[in-house]
Amino acid sequence: MTAAGVTWHDALDSTQEEAHRLASEGAPHGAAVAARVQTGGRGTRGRLWFSPEGGLWLSVVCRPEESGAFEAVGLRVGLVLADVLDRQLPAGSRVALKWPNDLLLDDRKLGGILAEARWHGEKIAWIVVGVGINVRNELPSPVRRSGARLADAGFTGSPDELAEPVALAVASAAARAAPLTPAELDQFARRDWLLGKVLAAPEPGLADGITPAGLLRVRRPDGSVTKVVTGVEVRVVEPVP
Ligand code: BTN
Protein backbone atom coordinates (compact mmCIF):
# COMPACT_ATOMS: atom_id res chain seq x y z
CA MET A 1 0.00 0.00 0.00
CA THR A 2 1.37 3.44 -0.80
CA ALA A 3 1.39 6.64 1.19
CA ALA A 4 -1.00 9.35 0.06
CA GLY A 5 1.76 11.97 0.26
CA VAL A 6 3.43 13.98 3.00
CA THR A 7 1.97 17.38 3.96
CA TRP A 8 4.60 19.64 5.52
CA HIS A 9 4.00 22.31 8.16
CA ASP A 10 6.56 24.79 9.46
CA ALA A 11 5.33 24.27 13.01
CA LEU A 12 2.67 22.17 14.73
CA ASP A 13 1.85 21.38 18.31
CA SER A 14 2.15 17.66 17.49
CA THR A 15 1.91 15.87 14.16
CA GLN A 16 0.01 13.16 16.07
CA GLU A 17 -2.82 15.60 16.83
CA GLU A 18 -2.95 16.80 13.24
CA ALA A 19 -2.98 13.25 11.86
CA HIS A 20 -5.81 12.22 14.23
CA ARG A 21 -7.74 15.28 13.09
CA LEU A 22 -7.21 14.33 9.44
CA ALA A 23 -8.19 10.71 10.16
CA SER A 24 -11.40 11.82 11.87
CA GLU A 25 -12.22 13.72 8.66
CA GLY A 26 -11.70 10.59 6.56
CA ALA A 27 -8.03 10.84 5.46
CA PRO A 28 -7.00 7.63 3.68
CA HIS A 29 -4.45 5.04 4.73
CA GLY A 30 -0.98 6.49 4.23
CA ALA A 31 -1.83 10.19 4.58
CA ALA A 32 1.21 11.67 6.28
CA VAL A 33 1.94 14.94 8.02
CA ALA A 34 5.33 16.32 8.99
CA ALA A 35 6.45 19.42 10.85
CA ARG A 36 9.82 21.17 10.84
CA VAL A 37 9.23 22.04 14.51
CA GLN A 38 6.79 20.63 17.07
CA THR A 39 5.94 22.74 20.08
CA GLY A 40 4.21 19.93 21.99
CA GLY A 41 5.72 16.78 20.52
CA ARG A 42 4.85 13.74 22.58
CA GLY A 43 6.66 10.53 23.29
CA THR A 44 5.52 7.33 24.91
CA ARG A 45 4.25 7.21 28.51
CA GLY A 46 3.11 10.83 28.34
CA ARG A 47 6.64 12.18 27.92
CA LEU A 48 7.47 15.27 25.94
CA TRP A 49 9.37 14.76 22.70
CA PHE A 50 11.83 17.59 22.07
CA SER A 51 11.34 18.46 18.38
CA PRO A 52 13.47 21.36 17.14
CA GLU A 53 14.35 22.06 13.50
CA GLY A 54 16.61 19.51 11.85
CA GLY A 55 14.82 16.29 12.86
CA LEU A 56 12.17 14.22 11.12
CA TRP A 57 8.86 14.55 12.98
CA LEU A 58 6.19 12.71 11.03
CA SER A 59 2.85 10.97 11.61
CA VAL A 60 1.00 8.62 9.27
CA VAL A 61 -2.70 7.77 9.26
CA CYS A 62 -3.03 3.98 9.05
CA ARG A 63 -6.19 1.99 8.47
CA PRO A 64 -5.09 -1.62 8.90
CA GLU A 65 -7.22 -4.36 7.40
CA GLU A 66 -7.10 -6.53 10.54
CA SER A 67 -7.46 -5.49 14.17
CA GLY A 68 -6.15 -8.60 15.94
CA ALA A 69 -2.68 -7.55 17.12
CA PHE A 70 -2.32 -3.82 17.70
CA GLU A 71 0.93 -4.31 19.67
CA ALA A 72 2.56 -5.90 16.61
CA VAL A 73 2.11 -2.77 14.49
CA GLY A 74 4.78 -0.62 16.15
CA LEU A 75 7.23 -3.52 16.03
CA ARG A 76 6.56 -4.17 12.34
CA VAL A 77 7.04 -0.44 11.67
CA GLY A 78 10.35 -0.61 13.56
CA LEU A 79 11.52 -3.45 11.31
CA VAL A 80 10.87 -1.58 8.07
CA LEU A 81 12.27 1.71 9.40
CA ALA A 82 15.47 -0.01 10.47
CA ASP A 83 15.88 -1.22 6.86
CA VAL A 84 15.20 2.27 5.48
CA LEU A 85 17.67 3.89 7.88
CA ASP A 86 20.39 1.28 7.34
CA ARG A 87 20.33 2.23 3.65
CA GLN A 88 21.12 5.86 4.58
CA LEU A 89 24.14 4.93 6.68
CA PRO A 90 27.65 3.87 5.78
CA ALA A 91 28.20 0.14 5.28
CA GLY A 92 28.65 -1.56 8.62
CA SER A 93 26.26 0.70 10.57
CA ARG A 94 23.17 -1.14 11.67
CA VAL A 95 20.09 0.13 13.45
CA ALA A 96 19.01 -1.93 16.46
CA LEU A 97 15.50 -2.16 17.89
CA LYS A 98 14.85 -1.84 21.58
CA TRP A 99 11.45 -3.26 22.47
CA PRO A 100 8.91 -1.83 22.19
CA ASN A 101 9.51 1.33 20.20
CA ASP A 102 13.10 2.60 20.15
CA LEU A 103 15.46 2.81 17.19
CA LEU A 104 19.07 2.66 18.37
CA LEU A 105 22.40 3.32 16.75
CA ASP A 106 25.55 2.25 18.58
CA ASP A 107 23.52 1.80 21.80
CA ARG A 108 22.13 5.32 21.60
CA LYS A 109 18.58 6.39 20.83
CA LEU A 110 18.24 7.51 17.23
CA GLY A 111 14.46 7.70 17.20
CA GLY A 112 11.17 6.42 18.49
CA ILE A 113 7.79 5.20 17.29
CA LEU A 114 4.46 6.12 18.85
CA ALA A 115 1.41 4.13 17.68
CA GLU A 116 -1.94 5.47 18.89
CA ALA A 117 -5.16 3.66 17.98
CA ARG A 118 -8.71 4.88 17.95
CA TRP A 119 -11.24 2.12 18.32
CA HIS A 120 -14.78 1.42 17.14
CA GLY A 121 -15.73 -1.21 19.71
CA GLU A 122 -13.37 -4.16 19.13
CA LYS A 123 -12.22 -2.87 15.74
CA ILE A 124 -9.43 -0.43 15.06
CA ALA A 125 -10.90 2.66 13.39
CA TRP A 126 -7.42 3.98 12.61
CA ILE A 127 -3.91 4.10 14.00
CA VAL A 128 -1.72 7.17 13.87
CA VAL A 129 1.90 6.03 13.73
CA GLY A 130 4.29 8.78 14.76
CA VAL A 131 7.98 8.61 13.98
CA GLY A 132 10.64 10.86 15.44
CA ILE A 133 14.17 10.54 14.06
CA ASN A 134 17.13 12.64 15.11
CA VAL A 135 18.75 13.77 11.89
CA ARG A 136 20.81 16.93 12.51
CA ASN A 137 18.69 18.57 15.24
CA GLU A 138 20.00 19.69 18.59
CA LEU A 139 19.56 17.03 21.28
CA PRO A 140 18.15 18.19 24.62
CA SER A 141 20.67 18.11 27.46
CA PRO A 142 19.07 15.19 29.37
CA VAL A 143 19.62 12.89 26.36
CA ARG A 144 22.71 14.46 24.80
CA ARG A 145 24.87 11.52 25.84
CA SER A 146 22.28 8.80 25.24
CA GLY A 147 20.97 10.15 21.93
CA ALA A 148 22.22 9.52 18.39
CA ARG A 149 21.78 11.53 15.19
CA LEU A 150 21.93 10.31 11.60
CA ALA A 151 24.20 13.21 10.62
CA ASP A 152 26.83 12.16 13.18
CA ALA A 153 26.82 8.69 11.64
CA GLY A 154 27.58 9.87 8.09
CA PHE A 155 24.14 10.78 6.69
CA THR A 156 24.55 13.94 4.63
CA GLY A 157 20.91 14.49 3.61
CA SER A 158 18.02 16.42 5.15
CA PRO A 159 14.88 15.38 7.04
CA ASP A 160 12.85 16.37 3.96
CA GLU A 161 14.38 13.70 1.77
CA LEU A 162 13.71 11.01 4.38
CA ALA A 163 10.04 11.89 4.83
CA GLU A 164 8.63 10.16 1.75
CA PRO A 165 10.52 6.85 2.12
CA VAL A 166 9.74 6.77 5.85
CA ALA A 167 6.03 7.50 5.28
CA LEU A 168 5.82 4.82 2.57
CA ALA A 169 7.54 2.28 4.79
CA VAL A 170 5.22 3.04 7.71
CA ALA A 171 2.13 2.78 5.50
CA SER A 172 3.19 -0.56 4.09
CA ALA A 173 4.12 -1.97 7.51
CA ALA A 174 0.91 -0.80 9.17
CA ALA A 175 -1.44 -2.09 6.49
CA ARG A 176 -2.18 -5.11 8.74
CA ALA A 177 -2.49 -5.38 12.49
CA ALA A 178 -1.85 -9.12 12.30
CA PRO A 179 0.56 -11.05 14.55
CA LEU A 180 4.23 -11.03 13.54
CA THR A 181 5.17 -13.84 11.17
CA PRO A 182 8.04 -16.27 11.88
CA ALA A 183 10.14 -14.37 9.29
CA GLU A 184 9.44 -11.05 11.06
CA LEU A 185 10.31 -12.57 14.45
CA ASP A 186 13.60 -13.72 12.93
CA GLN A 187 14.29 -10.23 11.57
CA PHE A 188 13.49 -8.75 14.96
CA ALA A 189 15.83 -11.20 16.69
CA ARG A 190 18.68 -9.99 14.46
CA ARG A 191 18.13 -6.41 15.64
CA ASP A 192 16.90 -7.10 19.18
CA TRP A 193 18.97 -4.85 21.45
CA LEU A 194 17.44 -6.25 24.64
CA LEU A 195 18.00 -9.92 23.80
CA GLY A 196 19.86 -11.62 26.66
CA LYS A 197 20.12 -8.46 28.75
CA VAL A 198 19.44 -8.61 32.48
CA LEU A 199 16.27 -6.71 33.34
CA ALA A 200 15.32 -5.21 36.67
CA ALA A 201 11.86 -4.10 35.56
CA PRO A 202 9.07 -4.66 34.73
CA GLU A 203 10.04 -8.24 35.69
CA PRO A 204 13.46 -9.29 36.96
CA GLY A 205 14.98 -11.77 34.52
CA LEU A 206 16.59 -12.07 31.10
CA ALA A 207 15.06 -10.53 27.97
CA ASP A 208 14.19 -13.49 25.78
CA GLY A 209 12.77 -12.09 22.51
CA ILE A 210 9.20 -11.23 21.65
CA THR A 211 5.99 -13.11 20.90
CA PRO A 212 3.99 -12.98 17.62
CA ALA A 213 1.59 -10.60 19.36
CA GLY A 214 4.49 -8.26 20.10
CA LEU A 215 4.89 -8.92 23.83
CA LEU A 216 8.31 -9.07 25.47
CA ARG A 217 9.35 -12.48 26.81
CA VAL A 218 11.23 -12.35 30.11
CA ARG A 219 12.92 -15.50 31.46
CA ARG A 220 12.69 -15.42 35.24
CA PRO A 221 15.50 -16.70 37.47
CA ASP A 222 13.49 -19.94 38.02
CA GLY A 223 13.43 -20.59 34.24
CA SER A 224 9.76 -19.76 33.69
CA VAL A 225 8.86 -17.25 31.02
CA THR A 226 6.52 -14.34 31.52
CA LYS A 227 5.17 -12.04 28.82
CA VAL A 228 5.08 -8.32 29.23
CA VAL A 229 2.69 -6.08 27.35
CA THR A 230 3.82 -2.83 25.80
CA GLY A 231 3.42 0.38 27.72
CA VAL A 232 5.77 -0.53 30.55
CA GLU A 233 9.24 0.82 30.98
CA VAL A 234 12.06 -1.68 30.64
CA ARG A 235 14.94 -1.21 33.06
CA VAL A 236 18.18 -2.94 32.10
CA VAL A 237 20.55 -3.77 34.94
CA GLU A 238 23.75 -3.09 32.98
CA PRO A 239 24.46 0.63 32.68
CA VAL A 240 23.23 2.07 29.39
CA PRO A 241 25.66 4.59 27.87
C1 BTN B 1 9.19 7.68 21.89
O2 BTN B 1 8.87 8.11 23.01
O3 BTN B 1 10.23 7.07 21.70
C4 BTN B 1 8.29 7.93 20.71
C5 BTN B 1 8.53 9.30 20.12
C6 BTN B 1 7.64 9.65 18.97
C7 BTN B 1 7.86 11.08 18.52
C8 BTN B 1 7.13 11.39 17.24
S9 BTN B 1 7.69 12.88 16.49
C10 BTN B 1 6.34 12.81 15.38
C11 BTN B 1 5.13 12.37 16.18
N12 BTN B 1 4.49 13.51 16.78
C13 BTN B 1 4.57 13.48 18.12
O14 BTN B 1 4.10 14.33 18.89
N15 BTN B 1 5.22 12.37 18.50
C16 BTN B 1 5.62 11.55 17.38
Mean pLDDT value across residues 105-123: 95
Expressed in angstroms and rounded, the spacing between residue 57 Cα and the centre of ligand 1 is 7
Closest CA to 164 of 1, 64, 32: 32
- Closest atom of ligand 1 relative to the 51 alpha carbon: 9
Query: DSSP letter string over 135-168?
Result: SSPPPPGGGTTTB--TGGGT--S-HHHHHHHHHH
Least confident window among 12-21, 143-152, 181-190: 143-152
Mean pLDDT value across residues 221-233: 85
What are the phi and psi torsion angles at 141 (to 5°)?
-60, -35
pLDDT at 4: 54
For 174, other C-beta atoms within 10 Å of its C-beta total 27
Are residues 106 and 148 in contact, defined by beta-carbon separation less than 8 angstroms? Answer: yes
Mean pLDDT value across residues 82-87: 97
- Closest atom of ligand 1 relative to the 16 alpha carbon: 12
Test site for ligand 1: of 114, 131, 170, 232, most ligand atoms within 8 A of the Cβ:
114
1 pLDDT higher than 50? no
What are the phi and psi torsion angles at 20 (to 5°)?
-65, -40
Are residues 78 and 103 in contact, defined by beta-carbon separation less than 8 angstroms? Answer: yes
Residue nearest to atom 15 of ligand 1 (CA): 42
Distance CA 176, CA 173 (A): 7
Distance CA 111, CA 139 (A): 11
Spatial CB neighbours of 57, under 8 Å, sequence gap ≥ 6: 15, 34, 35, 36, 37, 38, 41, 49, 51, 130, 131, 132, 159
pLDDT at 3: 46
Mean pLDDT value across residues 55-71: 93
Average pLDDT for the chain: 93
230 pLDDT higher than 80? no
pLDDT band at 185 (very low <50, low <70, confident <90, very high): very high
Query: DSSP letter string over 182-199?
Result: HHHHHHHHHHBSSTT-EE
pLDDT at 102: 96
pLDDT at 238: 64
Q: How far is CA 170 from CA 1, 4, 20, 42, 73, in A?
A: 10, 12, 16, 18, 9
Test site for ligand 1: of 51, 73, 162, most ligand atoms within 8 A of the Cβ:
51
Spatial CB neighbours of 190, under 8 Å, sequence gap ≥ 6: none
pLDDT at 232: 66
pTM of the model: 0.94
122 pLDDT higher than 90? no
pLDDT at 172: 97
Mean pLDDT value across residues 27-38: 98
Q: Is 214 left (phi over 0), alpha (psi -120 to 50) or beta?
A: left
Are residues 8 and 36 in contact, defined by beta-carbon separation less than 8 angstroms? Answer: yes
2 pLDDT higher than 50? no
Q: What percent of the chain has pLDDT over 70?
A: 95
Residue nearest to atom 11 of ligand 1 (CA): 130
Are residues 149 and 159 in contact, defined by beta-carbon separation less than 8 angstroms? Answer: no
What residues does ligand 1 touch, defined as CB less than 6 Å away? Answer: 14-16, 38, 41-44, 47, 49, 51, 57-59, 101-102, 112-114, 130-132
pLDDT at 142: 81
Expressed in angstroms and rounded, the spacing between residue 40 Cα and the centre of ligand 1 is 10
